[in-house]
Structure formats: C-alpha cells, structure tokens
Amino acid sequence: MMSSVGAFPPGLVLIIAGLLLPWLARPLRQALLLVASALCLYLVWQVGDGAQITLHYLDYEIVPLKGDALSRLFATVFAIMALVGGLFALNQLSVLEMSAAFVYAGSAVSAVFAGDLITLFVFWEIMAIGSTLIVWSAGPRAYGAGLRYAAIHFLGGVILMAGIAGEIANTGSIAFTQMSADTVPRMLILIGFLINAGAPPLAAWLPDAYPEASWSGMVFLSAFTTKTAVYVLLRGFAGTEILIYIGLYMVFYGIIYAILENDMRRILAYSIVNQVGFMVTGIGIGSQMALNGAAAHAFVHIIYKALLLMSAGSVLYMTGKRKCTDLGGLFRTMPVTGVCGIIGALSISAFPLTSGFPAKSMISQGAADGHLVIVWYLLAAASAGVFLHAGIKFPWFVFFQKDSGLRPSEPPWNMRLAMIIFSVMCLGLGVAPGVLYNLLPFPVNYVPYTGAHVVFQLQLLLFSGLAFFLMLGWLKRSLTITLDFDWFYRRFGWMLAEEFQMRSGDVWNGMANRAANTVTRFVRQLYRHHGPEGILGRQWPTGNMAFWTTLLLGASLIVYYL
C-alpha cells in the first residue's frame, strides 16, 4: 500500500524512460533523457522520512520506497548525474548504451530508497546488467572486458544473495538496517557490498572494464556502482573497523597504479578506487563526523569525477586517442575542456574553494577526533598522492606538456554545457559548503575554512606539485603494460580452462572408446547367433522343428495346469 499519494518511486521514472528510448525517434529520445531526469530529481524530494510504500508477500513486508536524509542525499546526486550526464551524451548514437544507462541510473536511485534486503538485491542485480550492457555497447573491443566485469559482479551477487538468505534464516526479517559483521551471513553481505565498491583483491574489474566503455559510457559508470556500494556500507556497516584497513589499501592501491598508468581514462579509473577508499575508511571510523565526511565525499566525488571523465571523454571524442604519450598541447584548441578538467582536478585534490576541500577533510577530522594518528597521517599522505596522479598528471600530460601536433576543436555545445554545469557546482560547493552540509545525515559542527587547515592543505598540495615537476622525467609514461592482481586469476583461469579441456577430452575419448568396443562386442555376439552360420540363423530340418514345437507346447500345458 502507499502511505502517501505523492509517494512514487523516483527511480522507476528513469527505468521506464530507459525502456522507452529504443522505440522513439532521436529528437524525442534526447528530450526524454532530460525530462525524465528532471522529473526524477523532483520526485526524490517528494519522498518523506520512513516507509512510503509497503507490500506484503508471504510473511514478509517489502518496502520498495523508504526515505531519510542519507537516501535522499545519494538519490539527489544520482538524479543530477543522470540529468547532466544525459545532456553530455545527447550526441551518443548507441541507443543500447543510453537505454542501459538510464535503467542503470534508475536502479541505483531505487537501491538507495530500498527499505528491505530483497528490494535492494533486485535493483543491485539490475544495476549489474545495465552497467554490463553499457560496457558491451562500446563494440567488439569491449566484449572481453564486459564479460569479465559481468562475471565478477554476478559472483558478488551470488555471495550477496547467500548472505541475505542466511540473514533471513537467522533473524526472520528482511529489513535493511545497521548490522555488524558478526555472523557468516552478514560477512557474506559485507563481501558482496565490497566487491561493488572495488575493494581488494578483485578491484581490477574497475580499471579493466570502465575505460573500455565509450566516451560517454564511462561517465555514467563512474557514478553509480561504487557509490551505491558506499551508500549500503554507510547504511549497514558503519563503524566496522576492518573497513579502515580495506579503505587505506584502496587509497594507496589507486594512487600507485594511477601514477604508473599511461592511458588517461585508466588513470581516472584507478582514481575512482582511490577516492572510494577514502569513503570506506571514513565508514570504518564510524563517528558522525567521519560518516558525514564519507557521505559528503561521495556526493562531490560523483560530480568532480564525472567532470574529469567528461573532459577526458571530450578529448577521446574529438581526437580518438586516449594514451598520454599520444596527447599533449590540447589546451590551445580546447580551452573550455581544459579549464573544466583543471577544475575537476583541483576538486579531486581538495584544493581550497573547490568541493573536495570541505567534504574530504571531514574524514581526516573524524580520524583526528578518534585519536587515530596513523590513519590521519596516511590520509594526509594520500591527499598528496591524489594531487600527483589526478590533480596534476592528467591535465598536464593531456592539455600541456609537449605539442602532440593535434589541433582538435572544442566538443559540441551540449558537452561543453555539461562540463560547465559541473564546474560551477564544484566551485559553488567549495565556496558555500553549507548547502551540502544541510543535506548530510547528521548535524554538522565543522568549519573547514580555518587558517590552520587552509595553510596545511596548501602546503601539502604545493609541495606535492613541486615533487611532480622535480620527478617529471620519471613520471613520463611509455607504452608499457601494468599488471594488476587480476593477472593471477585471469592467468590461472586460462590455465585451468586448458587443463579442464585436456582432461575432459581424455575422459571423453576414453568413454567413446569403451562405448565403441561394447557396441562392437554386442554386434559380434549378435552376428554369431543370428548370422548365416549362427545357431539361431541357420536352416533346421523339419523334424527337429516339429520336435521342439511339441516340447514347448507340452511345457506350456504343464505350467498352465500347475
């Protein structure tokens, strides 16, 4: 039943729009992308606190729409992402990609409003299907990456479903509430969430698959899967200590591999893992300050990461190139794209007066309040590393550095407008963080712009920038291949497949030979008895036949009378 007349699931608007797109002409498709996203954003803010829709199935209460400050925060930025991302992708000719992208976005919105584990799992799996189709829609080159992506996420879905089934068996409830990883089913649920967050050891699915999507597809992919995972970790496992260590691993894993990478989109893909690591660390700390920081960081990260990927996507769209060794000097002919990319780079680096500064710093403050000195130092060092790989490396090697000889023009107006909108949001939330703080799940008692904090952050970033240019000769990339942890299971999987093929071939050949020998023996025995010289095939004298007939009739009579 619906508890209020206006309670309509906002995510369904995007899902329905995505399913309608293939049936519409291109002008109508473009209009629907924008109208549906705007309507979804409006409906998000019509969802009140508590359960808005409840359904009864068997002995369980399904709650497909339940609102509070945390779910509205994530649903708001997801709807904004769908709106501005749809504007950026108006020139995308692949109907499959846009249809899948809006089903994907709608499923993410629906997942953050899910009030029970069953609803969450349904939209969780729809997200996996939609995101896989986005990767595959880029063409044959992406099929392998898409297949690996699907395998990892469906594995995560199986683990999550096993955990949910065990949780229901243990508690008799399907409610999605705060829990601790103190039972096997809850550990499985946590593992299922972490796989989507890009946690080790399976984090390589993200830089493997996302950069193979189209120039617009990766923009959508960057926003929903990992941030929905952050949301469910905030909702279900806040304060779980092991998340601190997992998050720190993700932070430095992303930095190291991004510094080594030559492909501009793989740099930004590894950066996603790095940034989600900050959020996971904040969730593990578990204080209200750290949780507010994780939620705020997720909100601004979706915007500035999409901005960075829009900038990279515009370069790919106009030049067809993605490797840093093939690019450089593009600021001359793509100044708008370059400036927007720089704003995104400053935001991800938490530069003062950009959105990353008042959001990410709350996580470090949460570590300081909890007297987690080592964690605080590691987060500070990681902030310098972020400036190295995303704050400087991406814009420097793409837009400045050497003259590549390329002279592309700016991308179409809609792509520029989308980048400008997100650039304004990055600067606006940095200058006036109170707008963001009012959306957070807990009251905010934090002032980001203090003299000590601003000076410390500027010192950290400026010395990081100095280190970059001093080590510029070492940081210049070449055409190399970086091996990630997935090499082990992909290589082992290939060896296992070859071994299985060989062993199964031997078994099959053995079974086929035994079957052929059995049939041959049977035919020989049959021929022996029924062939021309066989006992049942050769001619018999009439007298002998009469004798045996009489004998059989006599035996029949005896059996009958007995």
| DSSP percent split of the chain into helix, strand, coil, nearest 5 | 75, 5, 25
- Chain centre to alpha carbon of residue 264: 19
pLDDT digits (tens, 9 = 90+) for 399-443: 888 887 888 999 999 999 999 999 999 999 999 999 999 999 999
pTM for this predicted structure: 0.86
The pLDDT score that the predictor gives to residue 222 is 93
Tens of pLDDT, residue by residue, the chain (562 residues):
444 434 789 999 999 999 999 999 999 999 999 999 999 999 999 998 988 888 887 778 899 999 999 999 999 999 999 999 999 999 999 999 999 999 999 999 999 999 999 999 999 999 999 999 999 999 888 898 899 899 999 999 999 999 999 999 999 889 898 998 889 999 999 999 999 999 988 888 999 999 999 999 999 999 999 999 999 999 999 989 999 999 999 999 999 888 888 889 999 999 999 999 999 999 999 999 999 999 999 999 999 999 999 999 999 999 988 888 888 889 899 999 999 999 999 999 989 999 999 998 899 999 999 999 999 999 998 888 888 777 788 888 888 888 878 889 999 999 999 999 999 999 999 999 999 999 999 998 889 999 888 998 888 888 887 877 777 666 665 566 777 777 776 777 677 777 777 777 778 888 888 888 888 887 777 767 666 666 666 666 667 667 777 887 888 888 877 6
The pLDDT score that the predictor gives to residue 260 is 84
Q: How many CB atoms lie within 10 A of CB 6?
A: 10
The pLDDT score that the predictor gives to residue 95 is 93
The pLDDT score that the predictor gives to residue 132 is 95
The residues, ordered by sequence, that sit 6+ positions from 328 with a Cβ below 8 Å of its Cβ are: 397, 398, 399, 400, 401, 402, 403, 404
144's tokens: 């392998």
25's tokens: 């002409």
Report CA dihedral (231, 237, 243, 247) to the nearest 10 degrees. Answer: 0
The pLDDT score that the predictor gives to residue 536 is 60
DSSP-derived secondary structure letter, 393: I
The pLDDT score that the predictor gives to residue 6 is 46
What angle is formed at CA 64 by the lines to CA 289 and CA 135, rounded to 5 degrees?
80
The pLDDT score that the predictor gives to residue 395 is 87
Amino acid sitting at position 146: G
Helix (H) or strand (E) holding 67: strand 60-67
- CA–CA separation, 401 and 259 (whole Å): 16
The pLDDT score that the predictor gives to residue 3 is 45
pLDDT digits (tens, 9 = 90+) for 348-407: 998 999 999 999 889 999 999 999 999 999 999 888 888 877 778 888 888 888 887 888
- CA–CA separation, 436 and 429 (whole Å): 7
Q: Is residue 163 a contact partner of residue 241, using CB atoms and an 8 Å limit?
A: no
Domain boundaries, the chain: 238-477, 491-561
